[in-house]
């Protein structure tokens, strides 16, 4: 079992260990296991049955309230009335496919594309981030006539057959596919003088050289600019510029996977890549795009899109349906009207400051880092400095007891992944910090 595999199991319900479960919950879990079978993935030793969501909160079947510091899909808040209303209205009016013209679809495409720099002016609408990255793979292959891709060592880019190959965090027994090279996550602490930009670019260059030597050629790199699954590495802003330059020089495409950092999460604007001052060749998006309505997208230049459609007739039946467009438009409206990007920056800074204060108080906290409302917090053994995934697991489960949902990330699973809805406010922040302090104090 790889180190990566440990993360996935860290917070995962174990179907072989149900002895301490209340009978009603056991019956509910049994129903899920009976239908979803081996593919069932439930959180927590005792899974939670949810019944309602609102803003930054989820409510379980016993009426217990959970502050959601984990879920980034309901990005503008659970069941945001603007988004719900837009979905309901459009679903009741017209829901068809993009072989017909539908005004709201063009309107959405124009609104979304206006947030990207030229020449990124074409949009392919899909239903998931996985489908978006699957299209991006083929665009890069067609543009470069190469098959080799580079990703970070614990990256996750989605679940299709092709995208699984570039998602090492999904691997169980198998190794990376022959046409994929991994580079370590860009952790400044590992770089001489902290110059992670130079180190990351050098590692990418070595991977490019290796792909070429082995005959695969170099098609591109997939990177989410916050390195979410790797443990969240955001700083310093701009460190991706050298990597992007190396990729371009080698004739490859830089694919910015904005499924995680996109739609304002990092607090510096709509897109994570902009924080680094780079312009990618392809941008992919998913999760927060429709606040839970299944939709994803690929943005690229007309030149690259033409190269893709030369080889295949791509059509996505549900992609770009008017209900998705309505949901997506409402999300863009809410982000603007509720100043959610500024809130991500301000509340994110408040949260990070509070966590840094906890770090000076509790030596189990090895590091706090991130951008906007995407923050990573490492637990390390105070004596040895070694990653402490057991502590992360303890905190995750204790947080659940205290009504807070949180998860872990990173190669060793010792990084708390702090990623709440963007409507997270000062009160939520205080609730989270107070609870974390209480839990840490109890472990002393």
Residues 7-66 that bind a copy of itself (CB under 8 A): 8, 28-29, 31-32, 34-43, 47-53, 58, 61
Burial 36-65, CB ≥16 within 10 A → b, else e? eeeeeebeebbbbeeeebebbbbbeeeeee
Q: HSE on the CB side for 157, CA within 13 Å?
A: 31
- How far apart CA 233 and CA 236 sit, in angstroms, is 9
Write down the residue that tokens 């951008």 correspond to.
371
Residue of 10, 123, 166, 326 interacting with a copy of itself (CB under 8 A)? 123
Q: How far is the CB of 334 from a copy of itself (least distance, A)?
A: 14
Number of chain residues interacting with a copy of itself (CB under 8 A): 100
- How far apart CA 268 and CA 127 sit, in angstroms, is 26
In the complex with a copy of itself, the residue whose CB is nearer, 41 or 357, is: 41
Q: How far is the CB of 392 from a copy of itself (least distance, A)?
A: 17
Burial 138-147, CB ≥16 within 10 A → b, else e? bbbbbbbebb
Q: How far is the CB of 234 from a copy of itself (least distance, A)?
A: 22
Burial class (CB in 10 A: 0-12, 13-18, 19+), 175: exposed
Should residue 134 be labelled a site residue for a copy of itself when binding is judged by CB under 8 A? yes
Q: How far is the CB of 218 from a copy of itself (least distance, A)?
A: 18
Residue of 23, 172, 384, 442 interacting with a copy of itself (CB under 8 A)? 172
Residue of 244, 255, 283, 295 interacting with a copy of itself (CB under 8 A)? 295
Should residue 196 be labelled a site residue for a copy of itself when binding is judged by CB under 8 A? no
Write down the residue that tokens 């179907």 correspond to.
15
| Tokens linked to 422 | 């963007």
Interface positions, 346-365, toward a copy of itself (CB under 8 A): none
What is the DSSP secondary structure assignment for residue 291, as one 8-state letter?
A: B
Residue of 22, 88, 236, 427 interacting with a copy of itself (CB under 8 A)? 88
Q: How far is the CB of 183 from a copy of itself (least distance, A)?
A: 21
Residue of 293, 374, 379, 424 interacting with a copy of itself (CB under 8 A)? 293
Q: Residues 6 or more apart from 51 whose CB is under 8 A from it?
A: 59, 60, 61
Q: How far is the CB of 293 from a copy of itself (least distance, A)?
A: 8
Should residue 182 be labelled a site residue for a copy of itself when binding is judged by CB under 8 A? no
Should residue 397 be labelled a site residue for a copy of itself when binding is judged by CB under 8 A? no
């Amino acid at each position: 079992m790889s180190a990566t595999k440990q993360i996935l199991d860290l917070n995962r319900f174990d179907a072989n260990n149900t002895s301490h479960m209340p009978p009603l919950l056991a019956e509910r879990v049994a129903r899920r296991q009976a239908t979803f079978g081996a593919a069932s993935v439930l959180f927590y030793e005792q899974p939670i049955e949810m019944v309602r969501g609102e803003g930054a909160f989820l409510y379980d079947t016993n009426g217990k309230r959970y502050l959601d510091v984990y879920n980034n899909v309901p990005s503008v808040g659970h069941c945001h009335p603007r988004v719900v209303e837009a979905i309901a209205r459009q679903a009741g009016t017209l829901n068809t496919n993009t072989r017909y013209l539908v005004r709201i679809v063009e309107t959405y495409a124009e609104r979304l594309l206006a947030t990207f720099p030229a020449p990124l002016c074409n949009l392919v609408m899909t239903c998931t981030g996985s489908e978006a990255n699957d299209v991006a793979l083929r665009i890069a292959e067609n543009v470069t006539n190469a098959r080799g891709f580079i990703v970070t060592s614990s990256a996750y880019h989605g679940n299709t057959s092709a995208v699984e190959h570039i998602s090492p965090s999904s691997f169980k027994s198998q190794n990376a596919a022959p046409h994929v090279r991994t580079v370590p996550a860009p952790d400044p602490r590992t770089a001489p003088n902290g110059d992670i930009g130079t180190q990351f670019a050098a590692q990418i260059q070595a991977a490019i050289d290796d792909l070429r030597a082995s005959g695969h050629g170099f098609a591109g790199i997939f990177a989410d600019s916050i390195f979410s699954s790797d443990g969240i590495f955001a700083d310093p802003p701009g460190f991706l510029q050298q990597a992007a330059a190396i990729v371009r020089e080698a004739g490859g495409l830089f694919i910015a996977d904005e499924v995680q950092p996109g739609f304002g999460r990092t607090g510096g604007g709509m897109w994570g890549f902009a924080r680094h001052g780079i312009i990618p060749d392809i941008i992919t998006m998913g999760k927060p795009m429709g606040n839970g309505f299944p939709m994803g997208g690929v943005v690229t230049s007309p030149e690259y899109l033409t190269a893709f459609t030369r080889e295949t007739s791509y059509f996505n039946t549900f992609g770009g349906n008017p209900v998705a467009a309505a949901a997506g438009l409402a999300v863009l409206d809410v982000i603007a009207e509720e100043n959610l990007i500024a809130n991500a920056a301000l509340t994110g800074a408040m949260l990070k400051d509070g966590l840094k204060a906890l770090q000076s108080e509790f030596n189990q906290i090895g590091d706090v880092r991130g951008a906007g409302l995407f923050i990573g917090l490492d637990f390390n053994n105070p004596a040895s400095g070694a990653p402490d995934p057991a502590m992360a697991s303890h905190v995750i489960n204790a947080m659940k007891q205290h009504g807070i949902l949180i998860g872990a990330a990173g190669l060793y699973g010792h990084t708390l992944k702090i990623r709440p809805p963007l409507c997270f406010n000062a009160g939520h922040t205080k609730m989270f910090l107070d609870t974390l302090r209480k839990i840490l104090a109890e472990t002393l």
